Amino acid sequence: MPLSDAVITGLFAKDLELAPFLDHLPVGICVLSPERRVRGMNAALEGLTGFGRESVLGKHCHHVLRCSLCTTRCPLDRLTRDRESITLDGDIIDHNRQKIPTRHTSAMFQDNAGNISGYLEIVEDMRPVQGAAAAQSRGLGFDSIVGQSPEMRKVFQLLPVIAQTDSSVLITGETGTGKDLVAEAIHKNSTRSKGPFIKVNCGALPATLMESELFGHSKGAFTGAVENKPGWFKLAHNGTLFLTEIGDLPLALQVKLLTFLDDKVILPLGSTKGVKVDVRVIAATLHDLEDMVRQSRFRQDLMFRLNVIRLHLPPLRDRGEDLQTLLSHFLRSFTAATRKNIRGFSPEARAVLSGYAYPGNVREMRNIVEYATAVCTGTEITPDNLPEYILSAPSPAPPSPERSDPYPEESLPPVHPLQNRTWAEVEREKILSALDRAGGRRSRAAELLGWGRSTLWRKMKKYNLE
């Protein structure tokens, strides 16, 4: 029976014609026989390939889709009883011989006896996504992550490359540096983006429950296990499992995680049969795993297995000009949400915010700006709108412990801006102090200030300090 004659029976009060339903979907869909011959396709795939649906009936799929995957790694060849769907990126050649970047999700239909009944191919046009990614690369960030400092630009250059691999990733950095955002950005820009992204906090549950939550359990595995439970690994099939605070994972579960990373098989509690799942693991921690290994609190072999790709996020105090960029970004976001007419920060408030250490990094800055926006009744945020603890905090921030500073005694002295001076006077004084301590070396002065060299040069020119 061709797709045009197929109906959905038993699901609704009346039978539903399948073809018109599929024509409403915005992605290309192709239904194949067990011999991989076209039984039908929807309007979106007609438009993408340029072939009419009637002209391709009975033809082998590789004559219609003409995909780069057909000659190298046909997705249908990789489908098994344990892996009933797969998503891969490739490209197709349309009727006009134009190459189109596409994402293919292939699924297999089986009857009750396990015999193949047919296949489903979902084809997505990736040209809009690639165009957005190219435009984004020319901006100030990546995905939902904002920044333009040299440290963050290095991160942004790595993220697209990491996203296209399937290796385990270990993200390190202090609290509030954006590890969750980076993990989600990696998933969204990978071939697994249409699959689930599941975040698990390894320190949020007791060890007695964590194993069941991660790996699932069988009915009767323990008291209260009245039904089978799939677990997070199973639910993340064809997607990404993000294990945050991996340093808090109990040692017993570290062994099971290591086993999964080696063979991609999970063993639910109470079951004697392993389940193969296709999951990419991204882990994150604010702890020093090497130090935890020395203290026998973390398995060294697991650290090596997670550490295939390591990505370290710098603290906010090491991101230079990103501080001002983020302040403006958060202010725009919260003024839009609250519909307040706040034009910006007063020079005094910006001076205080520029000199604060932000031990909670970007997350703390976001909370500060949200608070200031909420309590502000004027057209600009003043020091009176800032949390009290910021006004009494020492300034500026100490150098980051992750960065070895060969001149520890050269840290800049505190500059207290709120003494009837303008922000320009305060900033000029900071530059002069940095240049003095750096012996006139501009590169070292820029490092002391947490700026890039171009930023220091521009500000020196602004204040006639060339």
Angle at 287 between CA 286 and CA 292, to 5 degrees: 165
Residue 411 has pLDDT above 90, yes or no: no
Question: Which pLDDT tens digit goes with each residue over 119-141?
Answer: 899 998 887 666 555 545 444 56
> Does residue 5 carry a pLDDT above 80?
no
Record the pTM: 0.61
- Give the start-end residues of each E strand in 158-285: 169-172, 197-201, 239-244, 265-266, 275-276, 279-285
Distance of CA 252 to the CA centre of its chain: 28
Q: What is the pLDDT of residue 267?
A: 84
Instruction: Answer whether residue 2 shows pLDDT above 80.
Output: no
Identify the CA nearest to 106 among candidates 54, 42, 36: 36
How far apart are the C-alpha atoms of 376 and 381, rounded to whole Å?
6
pLDDT bin (cut points 50, 70, 90) of residue 419 is: very low
The encoded tokens of residue 148 equal: 């333009």
Average pLDDT taken over every residue of the chain: 82
Judged against a pLDDT cut of 70, whether residue 231 lies above it is answered with yes
Residue 344 has pLDDT above 60, yes or no: yes
| Averaged pLDDT, 375-394 | 86
**Mode of pairing for the β-strands spanning 279-285 and 309-312:** unpaired
> What's residue 1's pLDDT?
63
Find out whether 168 and 282 touch, Cβ atoms under 8 Å: yes
Residue 271 confidence (pLDDT) above 80:
no
- Give the integer Cα–Cα distance in Å for 422 and 409: 28
318 has pLDDT over 60: yes
pLDDT at 270 over 80: no
- Is the predicted pLDDT of residue 410 greater than 50, yes or no? no
Q: How far is CA 184 from CA 140, 181, 192, 388, in A?
A: 18, 5, 11, 34
User: Looking at residue 78, what DSSP letter applies?
Assistant: G
Take residue 227 and report the two structure tokens written for it.
Answer: 């039904």
- The whole-angstrom separation of Cα 441 and Cα 406 is 15
The pLDDT tens digits of the residues spanning 246-266 come to 999 999 899 999 999 998 888
| Residue 406 clears pLDDT 50, i.e. is over it | no
* Confidence (pLDDT) at 399: 44
- What is the spatial distance between Cα 241 and Cα 197, in angstroms, rounded to a whole number? 6
List the beta bridge partners of residue 169.
Answer: 282, 309
- Is the model's pLDDT at 114 over the cut of 60? yes
Identify any residues that bridge with 29 across adjacent strands, giving them in sequence order.
122
Q: How confident is residue 407, by pLDDT bands cut at 50, 70 and 90?
A: very low
Looking at residue 145, its pLDDT comes to 87
Residue 397 has pLDDT above 60, yes or no: no
CA pair distance 70, 194, nearest whole angstrom: 21
Query: Is residue 421 pLDDT above 60, yes or no?
Result: no
Flag the least confident range among 56-70, 268-282, 299-313, 446-460.
Answer: 446-460
- In this prediction, residues 151-165 reach a mean pLDDT of 90
Tokens of 417: 């801006």
Mean pLDDT, rounded, for 319-339: 90
pLDDT at residue 447, as a whole number = 79
- Note the pLDDT of residue 13: 78
Max mean pLDDT among 59-68, 196-205, 371-380 falls in 371-380
Token pair 């194949």 is found at: 32
Helix H or strand E segment including 204: none
274 CB-contact burial (10 Å; exposed 0-12 / middle 13-18 / buried 19+): middle
Three-point CA angle 98, 100, 102, nearest 5°: 155
The residue that leads in pLDDT, 247 or 443, is: 247
**What does the pLDDT average to over 345-363?**
91
Q: Tell which residue, 141, 156, 150, 148, has the closest CA to residue 446.
A: 150
Q: Specify the pLDDT at position 394.
A: 58
- Find the helix or strand (DSSP H, E) in which 149 lies: none
- The pLDDT value recorded for residue 451 is 74
Quote the percentage of the chain above a pLDDT of 70.
Answer: 87
Structural domains of the chain sorted by starting position, each given as residue range(s) with its CATH number in brackets: 3-124 (3.30.450.20), 133-312 (3.40.50.300), 318-400+414-420 (1.10.8.60), 422-466 (1.10.10.60)
Tell me the average pLDDT across 74-84. 77
Q: Supply the pLDDT for residue 130.
A: 62
313 pLDDT band, cuts 50/70/90, is very high
Specify the amino acid at residue 238: N
> DSSP state, 396?
S
Judge contact between 285 and 249, C-beta under 8 A. no
